[in-house]
């Protein structure tokens, strides 16, 4: 199907948007299904925890590096073809993991996967945004995020079951087939239009094409919000061991349920209420969640944290991402999407290191409390921006 999406469509649930939801969900599952299993598989080659740590972080590092270049593909290329080729590449590297004979080969293949995943995920998200009417942009971003979250919720357990039940060869083949399935679904997409570029001669590349500099502040907001969930995801089990809590996995279940509920029930709210007001309330909720976790005395505190963080994070990220897209031109949706991903990717690389240093020297409670400070900075920035916009509006009306 080589037609183009009607840019004036008023329907979120057009055919290509639905297909992109499927692609995003399947590729997210394929990505997450490897996370708990690959380190275990790598134990046949090494027992070095350092190398296992490098293996785990390799895909995040390469994905972060590739984001600016992914913006170029998403904004200037044939998005449908990019998604298909990327999925074929992901399938091939999945099979290569099965054929690896050392942990270093596994790391190399994961680095390649990170590059491919960065390009494909940025292109898929940008395509979904292009296929969404402007008036419902927040809802569209929320649904795109939800498709990934829903599949990620079952991916780790499914991966562990597959590896235990059928062995790693069948497991890696299954992962590769998921990429093949995504590529097949992409064949039925309409081509999303590539808006004409008026600012510079075709072929000339600048930093502005790779990173949306005008929304760097919003990227930092994404970094701050995602950091809060990143440190919890990385250190909650260890924190539970130090304070004597058991059944910590229930936190993640409750958090996922609340997160999905916010996207299903409240996705349309993101287009009806002010971006600044939503992010202010979300920041306050995330601060409350971190402080509740830091002062937890019983498991009830963790349940409250999961609910509060699920609501705060569930509303903040799609709201900020939608605002970033609104602030750039239609020919730079890929740049805005890549910039948003840079903020979120960074949150899974740097904050856990900082949290580990604080926890090692001062304890987990202080570490969770300390990460309230970026969110306080977010509140100050949002209030400042709202005040500036108010003054600008008053000046125009005079």
Domains by residue range for the chain, with CATH: 15-193 (1.20.1250.20), 210-391 (1.20.1250.20)
CA angle 322, 268, 303 (to 5 degrees): 90
Q: pLDDT at position 6, please?
A: 41
Q: pLDDT at position 195, please?
A: 55
| Residue 7, C-beta contacts closer than 8 angstroms, at least 6 positions apart | 130, 193, 330
How far apart, in whole angstroms, are the C-alpha atoms of residue 156 and residue 115?
22
Q: How confident is the model at residue 4 (pLDDT cuts 50, 70, 90)?
A: very low
Q: How close are the terminal C-alpha atoms of the chain, in Å?
A: 52
Q: Is the pLDDT of residue 138 over 80?
A: no
Q: pLDDT at position 7, please?
A: 44
Q: pLDDT at position 49, please?
A: 66
Q: Is the pLDDT of residue 196 over 50?
A: yes
pLDDT digit string (tens) for 287-332? 999 999 999 998 899 999 999 999 999 889 888 988 898 888 777 8
Q: Are 312 and 285 in contact (CB under 8 A)?
A: yes
Q: How confident is the model at residue 91 (pLDDT cuts 50, 70, 90)?
A: very high
Q: pLDDT at position 203, please?
A: 58
Q: How confident is the model at residue 70 (pLDDT cuts 50, 70, 90)?
A: confident
Q: Is the pLDDT of residue 64 over 60?
A: yes
Q: Are 76 and 4 in contact (CB under 8 A)?
A: no
Q: Which residues pair with 4 in a beta bridge?
A: 191
Token digits of residue 84: 């298909």
pLDDT digit string (tens) for 197-223? 555 555 577 777 788 889 999 999 999
Q: pLDDT at position 169, please?
A: 92
Question: Which of 9-18, 56-65, 100-109, 389-398 has the lowest average pLDDT?
Answer: 389-398
Q: Is the pLDDT of residue 47 over 50?
A: yes
How far apart, in whole angstroms, are the C-alpha atoms of residue 144 and residue 263?
10
pLDDT digit string (tens) for 152-168? 667 777 887 888 889 99
Q: pLDDT at position 396, please?
A: 60
How far apart, in whole angstroms, are the C-alpha atoms of residue 316 and residue 330?
23
Q: pLDDT at position 192, please?
A: 64
């Amino acid at each position: 199907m080589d037609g183009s999406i009607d840019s004036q469509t008023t329907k979120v649930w057009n055919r290509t948007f639905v297909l992109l939801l499927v692609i995003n969900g399947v590729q997210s599952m394929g990505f997450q299904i490897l996370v708990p299993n690959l380190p275990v598989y790598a134990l046949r080659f090494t027992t070095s925890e350092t190398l296992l740590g490098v293996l785990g972080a390799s895909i995040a590092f390469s994905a972060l590096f590739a984001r600016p270049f992914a913006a170029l593909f998403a904004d200037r290329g044939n998005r449908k073809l990019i998604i298909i080729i990327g999925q074929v590449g992901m399938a091939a590297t999945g099979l290569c993991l099965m054929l690896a004979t050392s942990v270093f080969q596994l790391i190399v293949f994961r680095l390649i996967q990170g590059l491919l995943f960065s390009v494909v995920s940025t292109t898929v998200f940008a395509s979904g945004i292009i296929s969404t009417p402007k008036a419902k942009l927040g809802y569209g971003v929320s649904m795109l995020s939800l498709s990934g979250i829903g599949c990620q919720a079952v991916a780790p357990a499914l991966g562990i079951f597959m590896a235990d039940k059928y062995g790693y060869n069948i497991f890696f083949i299954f992962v590769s087939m998921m990429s093949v399935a995504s590529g097949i679904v992409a064949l039925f997409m309409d081509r999303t239009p590539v808006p004409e570029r008026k600012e510079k001669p075709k072929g000339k590349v600048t930093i502005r094409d790779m990173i949306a500099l005008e929304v760097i502040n919003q990227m930092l907001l994404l970094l701050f919000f995602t950091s809060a969930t990143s440190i919890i995801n990385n250190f909650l089990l260890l924190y539970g061991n130090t304070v004597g809590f058991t059944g910590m996995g229930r936190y993640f279940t409750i958090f996922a349920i609340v997160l999905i509920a916010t996207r299903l029930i409240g996705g349309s709210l993101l287009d009806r209420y002010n971006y600044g007001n939503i992010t202010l309330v979300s920041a306050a909720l995330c601060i409350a969640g971190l402080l509740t976790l830091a002062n937890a005395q019983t498991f009830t505190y963790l349940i409250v944290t999961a609910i509060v963080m699920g609501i705060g994070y569930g509303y903040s990220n799609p709201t900020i991402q939608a605002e970033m897209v609104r602030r750039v031109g239609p020919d730079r949706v890929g740049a805005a999407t890549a910039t948003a991903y840079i903020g979120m990717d960074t949150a899974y690389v740097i904050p856990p290191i900082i949290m580990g240093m604080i926890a090692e020297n001062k304890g987990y409670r202080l570490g969770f409390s300390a990460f309230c400070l970026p969110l306080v900075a977010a509140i100050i920035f949002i209030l400042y921006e709202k005040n500036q916009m108010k003054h600008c509006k008053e000046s125009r009306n005079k």
